[in-house]
Structure 1
């Protein structure tokens, strides 16, 4: 897409930024950055925030090779806080921000397709693509905000009864050919946000280290009057889990801690105190069970 000059003759800055977070991601980061060239005809301002900037694992050489801005965060503030830091470094000309994991590959024209949909309505705050797993199957990347009924049902039965009605309702599953639709929240693995909407709600809540920060963002955008829109005509492939496979017990605990934080936000009134207590107890039990199962799998691996 050609850029026009302003009245002074100067070329305007880019309007689309990309922020990704690396954590021992060198094996996949190159593919992500290389795929951006075909994902949009727009000039892109790219920021790589490195949450593990060790000498042997630093993403700096890869970021610099592709012309990206590199930021080292050795304290590892978590995914959402790292994204916020990257967004703050984008030029003021940036109106749209692509937020993504480093283990993605963009299909040709993906970002342009997201931009086209986002530009149809000034109340759209975020848009997300169809996310495919490496085997080509779709990942449920556009879901409803979990209610007490669907959240509890999904938590209890998703692993033992995947087709249960609560999980299907929560995931809002449908075939991609059903087309574009609104969603409660979009996966933080890949989404395009309107910068003004993102900044209006304060970006990601940095109290989440990992998991649920995207659920929380979608929830707060919706409460503020912004739409979250799923665009299955745009596609990415998500390799998934490269940085967390060796830390499964830690990630299980982080997932359940984040779930508790979201429950506290959504059901914050004092009258919800008994419900929060019951949910927190259930999450504690579920976390212990999953950690035990992860330990058994690691011993038999």
Structure 2
């Protein structure tokens, strides 16, 4: 048994960047296991798996982000109580994982946890969000007016919360998220029909539907060297659009009572704040 397992899905990534992600996860006294799922067309990154605590798995067919992590999740199913999904562009200091595990142990109904996510310069990335409506997707991607986008973002990204205390939130970013393994197994892990981009929204929602909580936990933080490729690469943008269409076809477009209730209950947590939503 391991204290925690983790997985990183690779695709022609910078070795220097991935080394930082690997070193961050292994920099602990916990008993850990890390799976590197490599979707690159070659095995140039195989040397990154030389540590005994790492298992390297090559799959050049590239079935998608969620499908790659599912390979690791299935391997970890009976080996640990917790599993971390980690982007190759994540890095952090020692002492991040331990408080998160303690948080899980304290509250059995927590299904998944995301710490505070920071840009490399220390600015907060607002990645604890409401469930999106189609309007949220359209405005945040296509409307050129900052005052409109900012109004949407302030609510959608729960910015008025201050991001300085723990709260229950229905959409946590998949760039760095830790799951209770038993919850993952109950929902069947990631939906492999989603190649990339909305798989984190979908999996959080399915965990909530089972009665678990998705928690933002700002007591610890990680760095995310993030680049929004969907804005600059048309091929990536098409993948993003396809995943959004699949998500709304699955859960509902403009009429989704489940979304309305979940978002309403989320915002109620902040009703006492000045200038609440």
TM range (shorter): 0.7 to 0.9
State the match for 2:25 in structure 1: 36
Whether contact under 8 Å (2:133, 2:253) holds in the other structure is no
Change (3 A) 1:69 1:204: same
How far the C-alpha of 1:107 sits from its partner, in A, is 2.2
Deviation for aligned residue 1:255: 0.8
**What does the per-residue CA deviation read over 1:155-193, in whole Å, with 9 as the maximum and x for residues that have no partner?**
45477446532222111123232x111111111000100
1:175 to 159, 162, 182: 162
Residue 249 to residue 125, structure 1, CA distance change in 2 (3 Å): same
- CA shift, 1:261, in A, is 0.8
- Provide the TM-score with structure 1 as the length reference: 0.77
Structure 2 residues not aligned, in runs of 5+ = 257-277
Match of 1:215 in 2: 201
Show the counterpart of 2:38: 50
Residue by residue over 1:87-108, the C-alpha shift from the partner in whole angstroms, topping out at 9 and shown as x without a partner, is 1122623110011111111222
Counterpart among 7, 14, 23 of residue 11 in structure 2: 23
Highest relative contact order (Cα 8 Å, sep 6+), 1 or 2?
A: 2
**2:236 corresponding residue in structure 1:** 251
Distance, in Å, in 2 between the alignment partners of 1:206 and 1:230 is 25
CA distance in structure 1 between the partners assigned to 2:210 and 2:138 by the alignment = 26
Is the CA contact 1:150–1:169 (under 8 Å) kept in the aligned structure 2? no
Over 3 Å counting, the alpha-carbon distance change for 1:203 and 1:259 in structure 2 is same
Q: Which residue of 2 aligns with 1:143?
A: 129
Query: 5 Å matches for 1:260-279?
Result: 260-267=245-252
Q: Choose 87-96 or 196-205, whichever is displaced more.
A: 87-96
Deviations 1:48-79 (A, max 9, x none): 00010514xx2211112463000001100111
Alignment correspondent of 2:183: 197
Aligned position for 1:289: none
* Corresponding residue SS for 1:89: helix
d(CA) in 1 for partners of 2:231 and 2:17? 16
| Deviation of 1:22 (Å) | 1.0
Q: Which has the larger radius of gyration?
A: 1
Q: Secondary structure at the match of 1:122?
A: coil
For structure 1, list consecutive stretches of 5 or more residues without a partner in the other structure.
Answer: 1-12, 273-301
1:239 paired with 2:225, answer yes
* 4+ residue runs over 4 A deviation: 148-153, 244-247
TM-score, structure 2 as length reference: 0.84
